[in-house]
Amino acid sequence: MDKEQYINKEFFCQLKSQAVGEGKQGFVAAGIIMDQGKVLLLRRQPGDWLPGTYELPSGKVEQGETIDAGLKREVWEETGLKVKKIMDYLGSFDYLTRSGKDVRQFNFIVSVNAPLDIKLTEHDDYKWLAKEELGNYKVTEHVKKIVCAAYANCPG
Protein backbone atom coordinates (compact mmCIF):
# COMPACT_ATOMS: atom_id res chain seq x y z
CA MET A 1 0.00 0.00 0.00
CA ASP A 2 1.25 3.47 -0.89
CA LYS A 3 2.18 5.29 2.33
CA GLU A 4 0.67 8.56 1.15
CA GLN A 5 -2.57 6.72 0.50
CA TYR A 6 -3.02 5.58 4.10
CA ILE A 7 -1.62 8.58 5.98
CA ASN A 8 -4.69 10.78 5.74
CA LYS A 9 -7.31 12.38 7.97
CA GLU A 10 -9.19 9.09 8.38
CA PHE A 11 -6.00 7.27 9.41
CA PHE A 12 -5.27 9.80 12.18
CA CYS A 13 -8.87 9.54 13.40
CA GLN A 14 -8.60 5.73 13.51
CA LEU A 15 -5.39 5.88 15.56
CA LYS A 16 -6.99 8.20 18.10
CA SER A 17 -10.25 6.24 18.23
CA GLN A 18 -8.44 2.95 18.84
CA ALA A 19 -6.34 4.48 21.64
CA VAL A 20 -9.44 5.94 23.31
CA GLY A 21 -11.12 2.53 23.04
CA GLU A 22 -8.13 0.99 24.81
CA GLY A 23 -8.46 3.47 27.69
CA LYS A 24 -5.57 5.81 26.86
CA GLN A 25 -5.85 9.11 28.72
CA GLY A 26 -3.66 11.20 26.46
CA PHE A 27 -1.76 11.26 23.21
CA VAL A 28 1.73 12.27 22.20
CA ALA A 29 2.89 12.81 18.62
CA ALA A 30 6.57 12.31 17.73
CA GLY A 31 8.52 13.14 14.60
CA ILE A 32 11.45 11.11 13.34
CA ILE A 33 13.62 13.57 11.43
CA MET A 34 16.47 12.01 9.47
CA ASP A 35 19.41 13.63 7.73
CA GLN A 36 22.38 11.90 6.12
CA GLY A 37 21.57 8.57 7.76
CA LYS A 38 21.13 10.02 11.25
CA VAL A 39 18.08 10.80 13.36
CA LEU A 40 17.51 13.90 15.47
CA LEU A 41 17.18 13.32 19.22
CA LEU A 42 16.68 15.99 21.89
CA ARG A 43 17.95 15.80 25.49
CA ARG A 44 15.56 16.45 28.38
CA GLN A 45 16.72 19.15 30.78
CA PRO A 46 17.82 18.63 34.41
CA GLY A 47 14.79 18.79 36.69
CA ASP A 48 12.51 17.51 33.93
CA TRP A 49 10.92 14.07 33.95
CA LEU A 50 13.62 11.56 32.87
CA PRO A 51 16.39 14.21 32.93
CA GLY A 52 19.26 13.72 30.50
CA THR A 53 17.29 11.27 28.36
CA TYR A 54 17.41 11.76 24.60
CA GLU A 55 14.03 11.59 22.90
CA LEU A 56 12.33 12.30 19.61
CA PRO A 57 10.85 15.75 19.03
CA SER A 58 7.42 15.12 20.51
CA GLY A 59 4.69 16.40 22.71
CA LYS A 60 1.13 16.30 23.90
CA VAL A 61 -1.71 16.40 21.40
CA GLU A 62 -4.00 19.06 22.84
CA GLN A 63 -7.73 18.61 23.48
CA GLY A 64 -9.58 18.97 20.16
CA GLU A 65 -6.35 18.86 18.14
CA THR A 66 -5.72 16.20 15.49
CA ILE A 67 -2.64 13.99 15.77
CA ASP A 68 -1.09 15.42 12.61
CA ALA A 69 -1.67 19.02 13.75
CA GLY A 70 -0.15 18.18 17.15
CA LEU A 71 2.83 16.55 15.46
CA LYS A 72 3.53 19.58 13.27
CA ARG A 73 3.08 22.01 16.17
CA GLU A 74 5.31 20.06 18.57
CA VAL A 75 8.14 19.61 16.04
CA TRP A 76 8.02 23.36 15.37
CA GLU A 77 7.88 24.30 19.07
CA GLU A 78 10.75 22.00 20.09
CA THR A 79 13.10 22.44 17.13
CA GLY A 80 12.06 25.44 15.04
CA LEU A 81 11.73 23.07 12.06
CA LYS A 82 8.60 23.08 9.92
CA VAL A 83 7.17 19.67 8.94
CA LYS A 84 6.87 19.57 5.19
CA LYS A 85 5.39 16.09 4.89
CA ILE A 86 4.40 13.15 7.10
CA MET A 87 6.10 10.27 5.30
CA ASP A 88 5.35 7.11 7.28
CA TYR A 89 3.82 5.80 10.51
CA LEU A 90 6.19 3.64 12.55
CA GLY A 91 3.83 2.56 15.28
CA SER A 92 3.16 3.56 18.84
CA PHE A 93 4.07 2.75 22.40
CA ASP A 94 2.33 3.36 25.71
CA TYR A 95 3.80 4.74 28.92
CA LEU A 96 2.82 6.30 32.21
CA THR A 97 3.60 9.98 32.70
CA ARG A 98 5.12 11.37 35.87
CA SER A 99 1.56 12.04 37.10
CA GLY A 100 0.51 8.44 36.32
CA LYS A 101 -1.49 9.22 33.19
CA ASP A 102 -1.63 6.36 30.65
CA VAL A 103 -0.65 7.85 27.27
CA ARG A 104 0.09 6.58 23.80
CA GLN A 105 2.91 8.02 21.69
CA PHE A 106 2.38 7.90 17.92
CA ASN A 107 5.61 8.00 15.88
CA PHE A 108 5.97 9.30 12.33
CA ILE A 109 8.83 9.81 9.91
CA VAL A 110 8.60 13.39 8.70
CA SER A 111 10.44 15.58 6.25
CA VAL A 112 11.19 19.15 7.24
CA ASN A 113 12.08 22.34 5.40
CA ALA A 114 15.75 23.20 5.05
CA PRO A 115 17.94 24.52 6.49
CA LEU A 116 18.17 22.19 9.46
CA ASP A 117 18.89 24.98 11.91
CA ILE A 118 17.77 23.56 15.28
CA LYS A 119 16.37 26.04 17.81
CA LEU A 120 15.87 24.33 21.16
CA THR A 121 13.18 25.66 23.50
CA GLU A 122 12.39 22.81 25.91
CA HIS A 123 15.60 20.73 25.75
CA ASP A 124 19.22 21.49 26.55
CA ASP A 125 21.01 19.56 23.78
CA TYR A 126 20.44 17.69 20.55
CA LYS A 127 22.32 15.05 18.61
CA TRP A 128 22.10 13.58 15.14
CA LEU A 129 22.67 9.88 15.85
CA ALA A 130 23.17 6.86 13.63
CA LYS A 131 21.52 3.65 14.82
CA GLU A 132 24.92 2.31 15.91
CA GLU A 133 25.34 5.27 18.28
CA LEU A 134 22.09 4.83 20.23
CA GLY A 135 23.76 2.66 22.87
CA ASN A 136 26.20 5.46 23.70
CA TYR A 137 23.45 7.78 24.93
CA LYS A 138 20.64 7.68 27.46
CA VAL A 139 17.70 6.64 25.24
CA THR A 140 14.64 4.64 26.35
CA GLU A 141 14.09 1.18 24.88
CA HIS A 142 10.83 2.40 23.30
CA VAL A 143 12.60 5.17 21.43
CA LYS A 144 15.46 2.86 20.39
CA LYS A 145 12.95 0.45 18.81
CA ILE A 146 11.17 3.25 16.94
CA VAL A 147 14.45 4.74 15.70
CA CYS A 148 15.62 1.29 14.57
CA ALA A 149 12.32 0.83 12.74
CA ALA A 150 13.19 3.96 10.75
CA TYR A 151 16.12 2.06 9.24
CA ALA A 152 15.12 -0.70 6.83
CA ASN A 153 18.03 -2.94 7.86
CA CYS A 154 18.33 -2.26 11.57
CA PRO A 155 19.47 -5.44 13.39
CA GLY A 156 17.73 -6.77 16.49
**CATH classification of the domain holding 74:** 3.90.79.10
Within-domain flag for 77: yes
**pLDDT confidence tier of residue 155, bands split at 50, 70 and 90:** very low
Please tell me the total number of residues recorded for the chain in this structure: 156
| Angle at CA of residue 47, ends 81 and 130, nearest 5° | 45
Distance CA 59, CA 79 (A): 12
Higher pLDDT, 143 or 151: 143
Number of domains, the chain: 1
Q: What is the pLDDT of residue 5?
A: 54
Radius of gyration of the chain (CA): 15
Each residue of 24-41: pLDDT tens digit? Answer: 999 999 999 999 999 999
DSSP reduced 3-state for 25: coil
Within-domain flag for 94: yes
Within-domain flag for 156: no
Question: What are the residues facing 30 on neighbouring strands?
Answer: 58, 107
Within-domain flag for 137: yes
Within-domain flag for 154: no
Within-domain flag for 155: no
Whole-model pTM: value is 0.91
Q: What is the pLDDT of residue 29?
A: 98
Structural domain of 37: 3-149
Each residue of 84-109: pLDDT tens digit? Answer: 999 999 999 999 988 899 999 999 99
Within-domain flag for 144: yes
Within-domain flag for 63: yes
Each residue of 8-28: pLDDT tens digit? Answer: 899 999 999 999 999 999 999
* SS3 of the chain: helix, strand, coil, percent, to 5: 30, 35, 35
